[in-house]
Amino acid sequence: MLKKDLHEANRLSWNAATRAHNSHKGDQARFLREGGSTLFPEELELLGELRGRSLLHLQCNSGQDTLSLAARGATVTGVDISDEAIDFARSLSADSGIPGTFERSDVYDWLASTPPARFDLVFCSYGVIGWLSDLNPWAQGISRVLEPGGRFVYVDFHPVLWMFDEKLRLTYPYSGGHHFAEAVGVGDYVAKSGEGLVHWGYEEGVRDFKNPHPSHGFQWGLGDVINPLMRHGLLLERLEEYGYANGCQILEGMREAPGHRFLLPEGVPEFPLMFGLSVRKPG
């Protein structure tokens, strides 16, 4: 069941966090103008050819990935619940000279109100599923806005990872949509990850950020994600699991590897840290 009141609380938490996050990222417009990209190989490989494709980016945050996709030839629309993120994304598009359409909305409302069969690709990535309170209408909306033959591509941190707290203590259930409230709100993961996430030149920016707004998350397993997509007529093409996390140091003691990846701490048995999937709408 949708919990729109919790989504609204998250909007406030993300507004505060987004200002802190962007304070560390320097001149992002210049970085994009000069051909820089915030994308990782995993999502590009799953997305495939982008030139001439219409692409919807759900939970697009401040638009850096969205505009990196546009620079590769896609016609992009980004949607996010955060006012701060969408305002920044619009400015970033104007300042970088890379075209993109950005709309502020809860993704559920946006998917339900958008004309059907509109996009060749729907995309989302990295830390998005845990903010969604019901995956059935989410999957239904994705299926609805995809053109026949279109694909949904999704890359995120693996649900196994979210069973642990930052000190690698088993803390949360694996799946089932379990709700948990965080009094500290959305944190400054950009400051924590440093140049692993901001590889074009990390800046110190906001120090010791403390979010005044609490946040609410939901635990979803792989089956929780994939089965609603199947129920709404989408066909699974690929499911990948990766033993590293792109750009983000989520656990204490993670080791940075080439390609701005983070590995589990030394001595910890390997388990998947990310997954990627591609599903297709028949047609």
pLDDT exceeds 90 at position 192: no
- pLDDT score at 26: 87
Model pLDDT, residue 151: 98
Which whole number is the average pLDDT over 51-57?
98
In which residue are the tokens 């210049």 written?
A: 30
The domain containing residue 162 runs over which residues?
4-280
CATH of the domain at 228: 3.40.50.150
Phi, psi of 121 (to 5 degrees): -135, 140
Local confidence band at 188 (pLDDT 50, 70, 90 cut-offs):
confident
Q: What is the pTM of this model?
A: 0.95
Position 194 scores a pLDDT of 83
pLDDT at 53: 98
Q: How many domains does the chain have?
A: 1
Q: Is the pLDDT of residue 199 over 90?
A: no
25 in helix, strand or coil?
A: coil
Please give the pLDDT value at position 200: 83
CB 185 within 8 A of CB 213: yes
How far apart CA 281 and CA 246 sit, in angstroms, is 28
| DSSP string for residues in 161-222 | GGGB-TT--B-S-SSS-EEEEETT-S--HHHHHGGGT-TTT----S-S---SS-EEEEE--H
Q: Is the pLDDT of residue 196 over 90?
A: no
Specify the residue for token string 């196994």: 160
Pairing state between β 235-242 and 261-263 = unpaired
User: pLDDT per residue over 205-257, tens digit each?
Assistant: 899 999 999 999 999 999 999 999 999 999 999 999 999 999 999 999 999 99
Mean pLDDT along residues 56-80: 98
Band (204; pLDDT cuts 50, 70, 90): confident
Mutual angle of helices 83-96 and 4-23, in 10-degree steps: 40
- Does residue 193 register a pLDDT over 90? no
Average pLDDT over residues 25-31: 91
| Both tokens assigned to 112 | 């339900």
Q: How far apart are CA 30 and CA 95, in angstroms?
A: 8
List, as own/partner pairs, every contact residues 61-64 make where C-beta atoms lie below 8 angstroms and the sequence separation is at least 24, other chains included. 61/18, 61/85, 61/89, 62/18, 62/21, 62/22, 62/88, 62/89, 62/92, 63/88, 63/89, 63/90, 63/92, 63/93, 63/100, 63/102, 64/25, 64/28, 64/32, 64/38, 64/92
The string of pLDDT tens digits covering residues 86-133 is 999 999 999 999 999 999 999 999 999 999 999 999 999 999 999 999
- Cα separation, 106 vs 81, in Å, equals 5
Number of Cβ within 10 Å of residue 283's Cβ equals: 10
pLDDT in tens, 126-182: 999 999 999 999 999 999 999 999 999 999 999 999 999 999 999 999 999 999 999
